[in-house]
Structure 1
Amino acid sequence: MKNNQAYAELMAYQRDTEALGKIAERTGWDQETMMPQGAADQRGIEMAAMEGVLHARRCNPQIAQWLADAEAADDVAAAQLYQIDRSYKRAVKVPGDLAQEMARVTSVAQGIWARARAAEKVADFLPTLREVIALKRQEAAALADGGDLYDALIDDYEPEATAESLGAMFDRMRPRLVALRAAVLAAEAPAGLSGQFPQDAQLRLARDVATAFGYDFTRGRIDLAVHPFSSGGGNDSRITTRVVESDPFNCLYSTIHEVGHSSYELAIDPDYGMTPLGHGVSMGVHESQSRIYENQIGRGRAMTGWIYDQMAARFGPLNVDGPEAFYRAVNRVHAGFIRTEADEVHYNLHIMMRFDLERALIRGDLAVDDLEAAWNDRFLADFGQVVDKPSHGVLQDVHWSVGLFGYFPTYSLGNVYAGCLHRAMRAAVPGLDAQLAQGDTSGAVGWLRENLQRHGGLRKPRDTIAHACGFEPTEGPLLDYLEAKFGELYRL
């Protein structure tokens, strides 16, 4: 077979696999937003069947032959072959019946977790969690080739990262974060925002803010979910948010966060559509987009000034007086229970705790029955607070119910990448704050689209960040940014 023919046949086959994967992903979106509760068991069967079809396609021996025969004509083709080869080598290690059972169990587990969370009953979820972990350990053992089980799972979300490298990064970050937290909490805290903010008005604001951040509603939509997420890509990338009527920042910043994820997917070069390069290259890089949208842009003084005007126009006078007080309220530091509501100073400490706990679960060093106590003990040690209820503790995150072990550390890695991107963007885009103060994000998001988002999976994760920034990523820019921002805010 001629090399160009083998490549063409492989890419045609891959496009169908990618299309089926999009259908499966949209089915998952429906489960979290619109599916009737009574359909959970049936949906599990449907998801397992779809996973069976996808797994068989991903393990097709013909892929190996195409890979052997194909020759890359350029850098894009080389990247396509690299990604297909990587996916194939991982897929063939996992038995098909195991892949299907994981799809079924994790689909059903989401509903069990949600009900246990609503009822504040950890015991109702533990048997299911035990089953999920057993399946994930089987998968990790198949992938690891005798190596570290947790590393094998991390590789699904952040290729070439390891527990050792991530742990070393956390060890370097922790002293400066803890010192900053101590200094901030010892200073006088600004007033927080209070009041009642009706759901419909919050959702209208969320939609308008999403539009201001460049979200394309002709290829996306906003819905409500227990745990906000984004889903899809190409010409169909959807987001969800949630509403607490006493806390409009929950809805507002969840929306901006998910817009960052979805905008990455929507900005990828259309020529990469329905190919391995047509989606974000890793969860760490993906998270860099959601975090820079949410924090460095969305919580910055310039953008919060515009958001203040929008809120005052919609909700009437606020209890914080003026844009500067509003900026301080948005960035108020407090040691809360909930990761998704955590301020920038505390956020990475939440991730470090989860990283240690889930690594212990996968390695067998922590029993599922001991997880709640371990969580509560660690939270008291790290945050100085006693967890008052499971939804504020071990039941707050959806991730473990759906088998996303190895995913949590990519949140902090995304923060690190966002710190690097922010430094580079500030140097490259003149007059950025003047634009943002008018609600004009085009300079910021345009820079991100051009330098990172449009390239999709063309480069490896760290190379993607280095290409955008012009320097190798480290945690230094993030920590410098946090110390400068909160040092000024709290007059340290």
Structure 2
Amino acid sequence: MSDAFDDLMAFQRTTEALASVAGRLDWDRETVMPTGAAEQRSEEIAALEAVLHERRTDPRIGEWLERAPDFAEDDEDDRMLELIARQHSRACRVPLRLATEIARVTSLAQGIWADARGAERPQDFLPTLSEVVTLKREQGAALADGGDVYDALLEDYEPDTSAGEIARIFDALRPRLVALREAVLGSDATPPRLEGRFPQEGQMRIARACATAFGYDWNHGRLDLAVHPFSMGEWQDVRVTTRVVESDPFNCIYSTIHEVGHASYELGIDPDYAFTPLGHGVSMGVHESQSRIFENQLGRSRAFTGWLHRRMTDAFGTLSVADPDAFHATVNRVTPGYIRTDADEVHYNLHIMMRFDLERDLIAGRLDVEDLPDAWNARFLKDFGVAVDRPSNGMLQDVHWSVGLFGYFPTYALGNIYAACLDEAMRAALPDLDTQLAAGDARGAAEWLREAVQRHGGLHRPVPLIEAAAGRAVSPEPLLDYLEGKFGEIYDL
């Protein structure tokens, strides 16, 4: 009798390789693909998704899974079998027709969203979004098997949790976040804005320098421009993108640092896990913990912004904010802005809570897609006290819904919670961290995270992984304490 475990792993290896190719097609589509090739690319992606779906639902997987435990040798083998069984079970619940149609429609939808965003015309995007939502509802219902549809979609991004549990976490976060925001906005301390024009070439040089400072491996990655920044890839090829606004260099710089955090996770996984179910980040919440700690606790720290101030002065001449301490306050300036990716740390989770509520209502059918722009604008005014001025600053700003990522948004806030827990442990382990950051060297922090979190890939479940690394139970308290301490100092609270 053949070794069922080895047969299954050989089969899985090819599936993983094909999925990696599919990801590369997505990267190409969003960075360098000719705009006129969108329809062709959607057919290519749909065809590849059909191949992947057939492999993931192959009846032999079930047969191998029945016999493979007899050949499993350790906890790693057991975990791989668990992950393959989970993927197989979920794939078998979704008809091939539906899987390929979702791939085709969301591939087209990304370009339609980008065009509508550029033209400030949500009406050009809403019919396509309605089609995406209908397909995702059908997928969620198939996966839920009578359970909660949104929870079934959420499992793809953050397994072992539910919308109800996330809502309870958000309810615990909101009071202190709102109180902090009101205190900050009511303070007499007002950090200045950074004024001026910052050409693309200079911004990209600094972005590359920041990526290098955080240990990004240029032999296995690259930095490109995209409408919405993202990271994509695994194992030996993990690429990041950013975007440039010449009046706002922080957009480019901190998008780059954020995406390098994602890339570092994938590049930091034990290379022995390549082409296996363990060779990926275990959840998007854990993934976001890596990108958010890079971006915020490290990248927006007083130590690192002092180094960044020198680099920007070298690149652009004397800045409108000439003092490093004032520059730190400017980087962390709190304002109820429109854009989630530009949001300060005080407001960021409020952006996520709003999207979480809206997408739950969309999937549940409590909110019609045609009513989404008005619902978005009303909720934003209620939560942020500012009227949305144009669609690109409203419901058209994020790419996620166009590509069907329903259930992704709450993982950003979970990532912030995880990141704060990790930051406590990391700073205890690295007492000279600020000295390193002040020299523009975040590699020590990156290495600590690689050892504590990233190298494990998918071996452990999300919460136990973070708790083992942080040496404490996961809780919103470290995040709230960090925010209140940091912004209390900046705003003299």
Q: TM-score, normalised by structure 2?
A: 0.99
- Equivalent residue number for residue 254 of structure 2: 253
- Equivalent residue number for residue 12 of structure 2: 14
Q: Secondary structure at the match of 1:171?
A: helix
Query: How many Å apart are 1:442 and its aligned residue?
Result: 2.2
Q: Distance in 2 between matches of 1:424 and 1:79?
A: 27
Count of residue pairs the alignment pairs up: 490
Q: Distance in 2 between matches of 1:351 and 1:244?
A: 23
Q: Distance in 1 between matches of 2:91 and 2:424?
A: 38
Q: Distance in 1 between matches of 2:51 and 2:150?
A: 27
Aligned AA for 2:425? A
Match of 2:64 among 63, 66, 90: 66
1:93 aligns with 2:93: yes
What's the % identity of the aligned pairs? 64
Q: Distance in 2 between matches of 1:120 and 1:368?
A: 17
Q: Distance in 2 between matches of 1:457 and 1:302?
A: 33
Q: Distance in 1 between matches of 2:51 and 2:74?
A: 31
Deviation by residue 1:112-166 (Cα, 9 ceiling, x = unmatched): 1011111111111110001000000000000001111100000010001111000
Aligned AA for 1:227? H
Structure 1: any 5+ residue segments left out of the alignment?
none
Deviation by residue 1:392-446 (Cα, 9 ceiling, x = unmatched): 0010000000000011000100001001000111111121111111112122111
Deviation by residue 1:200-235 (Cα, 9 ceiling, x = unmatched): 111011111101100001000000000000000100
- Equivalent residue number for residue 81 of structure 2: 81
- Equivalent residue number for residue 132 of structure 2: 132
Q: Distance in 2 between matches of 1:189 and 1:132?
A: 43
- Equivalent residue number for residue 240 of structure 2: 239
- Equivalent residue number for residue 44 of structure 1: 42
Q: Distance in 2 between matches of 1:76 and 1:467?
A: 17
1:402 aligns with 2:400: no
1:29-428 matches, within 5 Å, as: 29-71=27-69, 72-187=72-187, 188-428=189-429
Q: Distance in 1 between matches of 2:254 and 2:441?
A: 17
Structure 2: any 5+ residue segments left out of the alignment?
none
Q: Distance in 1 between matches of 2:275 and 2:330?
A: 43
1:417-456 matches, within 5 Å, as: 417-456=418-457
Q: Secondary structure at the match of 1:239?
A: strand
Aligned AA for 2:381? L
Query: How many Å apart are 1:33 and its aligned residue?
Result: 0.2
Aligned AA for 1:362? I
Match of 2:23 among 22, 25, 30: 25
Aligned AA for 2:444? G
Query: How many Å apart are 1:327 and its aligned residue?
Result: 0.4
Q: Secondary structure at the match of 1:156?
A: coil
Q: Distance in 2 between matches of 1:487 and 1:407?
A: 31
Q: Distance in 1 between matches of 2:277 and 2:13?
A: 9
Q: Distance in 2 between matches of 1:440 and 1:226?
A: 29
Aligned AA for 1:201? G
Q: Distance in 1 between matches of 2:346 and 2:462?
A: 25
Q: Distance in 2 between matches of 1:50 and 1:440?
A: 41
Aligned AA for 2:170? F
Q: Which moved more, 1:345-354 or 1:319-328?
A: 319-328
Q: Cα RMSD (Å) of the superposition?
A: 0.7
Aligned AA for 1:332? R
Query: How many Å apart are 1:470 and its aligned residue?
Result: 1.4
- Equivalent residue number for residue 481 of structure 2: 480
Q: Distance in 1 between matches of 2:492 and 2:13?
A: 55
Q: Distance in 2 between matches of 1:89 and 1:463?
A: 24
